[in-house]
Amino acid sequence: MSINTEIESALEDLRKKAWSDLCGQVKACTKCPLHRTRRNTVFGEGPTENCRCVIIGEAPGVEEDRDGKPFVGKAGILLNEILSANGIPRESVYIMNVLKCRPPSDDPKKQNRPPKSDEINACKGYLEAQLLLLHPDIIVTMGNTPTKFILETDKGITAIRGKWCDKRGIKILPMFHPSYLLHGRNDPDSPDRLNTFADAKKLKAALDWLKSH
Ligand code: SF4
């Protein structure tokens, strides 16, 4: 084994250990009040080696909190549809959220609420560490919360969806969150849905380009 291979192998072992430690820290986390109401933390799901693309949503919902996995409810089904319609296997991307615990709504008509800024501040170190360890080429931010957080912008998702941005050499593609597309009329031919499928097509083209270079 060459010295370079030995160093690479040692670094990979360290990265795996750091990932596993991070996962354990999230499971035990009590840094914000959401730990009191969660059933499970939702760390994320997908390939952790040679990860090309990360999708970041807002926070776990009821189904995610129940299963401990991201995007497993109706929004997850729509996400799968958006990805598979464009030839992107869900298993090929790492999927996670800004918050690792569900923010429950005080409104009895709603199950979840958007994250509060102090919750994001308490949790953001985990997301930043995940991104550092995964080191993706592309980040897809789904909805306002991850888009504003990652791009450090006040612009709303409607203004910047589908526009490639760059952050420290990583390509960022903001898209609508699938749960937003399910609200209201839930029209499969709505412009927002059609735009989202078109945005996923841009993502596929970028992934294909990365594969060939
Ligand atoms: Fe910890 Fe984040 Fe869960 Fe708050 S949301 S308890 S900071 S893991």
Average pLDDT of 122-143?
97
| Backbone phi, psi, residue 139, to 5° | -120, 125
CA of 119 from ligand 1 middle (Å) equals: 7
Residue (of 58, 57, 59) closest to 41 by Cα position? 59
**205 C-alpha to ligand 1 centroid (Å):** 35
Between 16 and 1, whose confidence is greater?
16
d(CA 171, CA 210) in angstroms, rounded, equals 11
Pocket test for ligand 1, best of 32, 64, 118 (most atoms within 8 A of CB): 32
Question: What are the Cα distances from residue 73, in Å, to 65, 125, 129, 183, 202?
Answer: 10, 26, 26, 14, 25
Per-residue pLDDT, 185: 61
Q: Which residue minimizes the CA distance to atom 3 of ligand 1?
A: 101
Mean pLDDT, range 126-154, rounded to an integer: 97
Q: What is the pLDDT of residues 95-111, one digit of tens each?
A: 999 999 999 998 888 88
d(CA 30, CA 33): 7
Residue to substitute in 23, 27, 34 for testing ligand 1 pocket (most ligand atoms within 8 angstroms of CB):
34
Q: What residue ranges line ligand 1, CB within 6 angstroms?
A: 26, 29-32, 34-35, 41, 99-101, 119, 122-123
Average pLDDT over the chain reads 95
Per-residue pLDDT of 51-68, as tens digits, reads: 999 999 999 999 999 999
